[in-house]
Amino acid sequence: MPKVAVCLVDGKRHDYDRGSFLWNLRPGIKNRIVRDYPKAQGSSFICYEHLLPYQIETIQAMIRSDEKQMNKINRKLTRTMADKEYQVTDVNETLQNTQTFGQKIADRVAEVAGSWSFIIFYIVVLVAWITINGLHLFGVHFDPYPFILLNLFLSCVAALQAPVIMMSQNRAAYRDRMSAENDYHINLKTEEELRILHAKMDHLMQHQFEHNLEVQQMIFEILTEMKITTPPPKKYFPGNDKPKS
């Protein structure tokens, strides 16, 4: 003779295996029952039929809360990724688009003047100039020793070259500054995104997986209870389903 308990919802008597005592239930389910029946205690009994709505409500609440939390994190991530303040700029393209004709020439001159070919060309010109004028080759001596015209020419080149190179250097410095600023913004954005991704992962690992497992366990429990409470199907024989007259 199985033991019998009284269901706290409708006061009907049930076998022990057709329901559960409140102390055996999960805290979430128990709290919901106590919310509706404040007099319920740990030793109170509830039949599976009346327990089912509370189990379903608990599962739905868990899924909803996880969804809410996930949406919150996703929204934050989307907002950070779309943040205009962190817009990444292509430094080269920006500089090229704002370059004036003079600046282009300055860059080109600095590039040529800072090359070995320019030095070699310079040496060749100097040697030729000195040789032709010093030795009176081909009867030419338009700039005799001590080559005053050559000095004037070299001074002019140096005087012009210096500001052009400085102009180009200024531009290089500006470009470096822009690049550093850009890097800083990219780092900042990456850091922020990583932080949110971390939060997302933490949430997934710590809460979502745990909740998923718990929900699965609860569904399994419901299925087991349903198997207990549902009467077994009547044996089916072909031609036997019509009521006998």
Binding status of residue 33 toward Zn ion by CB under 5 A: no
- Comparison of 13 and 79: residue with beta carbon closer to Zn ion: 13
CB atoms within 10 A of CB 228: 12
Closest separation in Å from C-beta 11 to Zn ion: 8
Residue 47 found at the interface with Zn ion (CB under 5 A): yes
- Counting residues that bind Zn ion (by CB under 5 A) gives 5
Q: Which of 5, 7, 33, 110 binds Zn ion (CB under 5 A)?
A: 7
Whether the CA torsion 152, 154, 156, 159 is positive or negative: it is negative
CB nearer to Zn ion: pick between 19 and 168: 19
CB of 20 to Zn ion, least distance (A): 11
Q: Applying CB under 5 A, which part among 47-55, 69-77, 84-92, 215-223 lies near Zn ion? A: 47-55
In the complex, least distance from residue 4 CB atom to Zn ion, rounded to whole angstroms: 13
Distances in Å between the alpha carbon of 70 and those of 29, 67, 183, 196?
23, 5, 30, 11
Judged on CB neighbours under 10 Å (0-12, 13-18, 19+), 88 is exposed
Asked if residues 218 and 55 have their Cβ atoms less than 8 Å apart, the reply is yes
- Residue 48 vs 106, nearer CB to Zn ion: 48
Q: What's the closest the beta carbon of residue 50 comes to Zn ion, in angstroms?
A: 4
**For Zn ion, the closer CB: 5 or 62:** 5
Considering beta carbons, is residue 19 or 196 the nearer one to Zn ion? 19
**Residue 50 touching Zn ion (CB under 5 A):** yes
Which regions of the chain does DSSP assign to beta strands (E)? Answer: 4-6, 13-15, 19-21, 45-47
User: Exposed, middle or buried: residue 11 (CB in 10 Å: 0-12, 13-18, 19+)?
Assistant: exposed
Only one of the segments 35-43, 44-52, 138-146, 163-171 lies at the binding site for Zn ion (rule: CB under 5 A); that segment is 44-52
Q: Compare residues 20 and 133 and give the one whose CB is closer to Zn ion.
A: 20
The least distance separating Zn ion from the CB of residue 52, rounded to whole angstroms, comes to 10
Cβ atoms 171, 106 nearer than 8 A = yes
| Rg of the chain over all Cα atoms, to the nearest angstrom | 44
User: Which of 5, 9, 22, 33 touches Zn ion by CB under 5 A?
Assistant: 9
Q: Which residue number, 10 or 191, has a Cβ lying nearer to Zn ion?
A: 10
Residue 164: count other Cβ atoms within 10 Å of its Cβ: 17
The residue with tokens 């868990």 is: 62
**Beta strands 45-47 and 4-6, pairing class:** unpaired
Residues that bind Zn ion in the complex, under the rule CB under 5 A: 7, 9-10, 47, 50
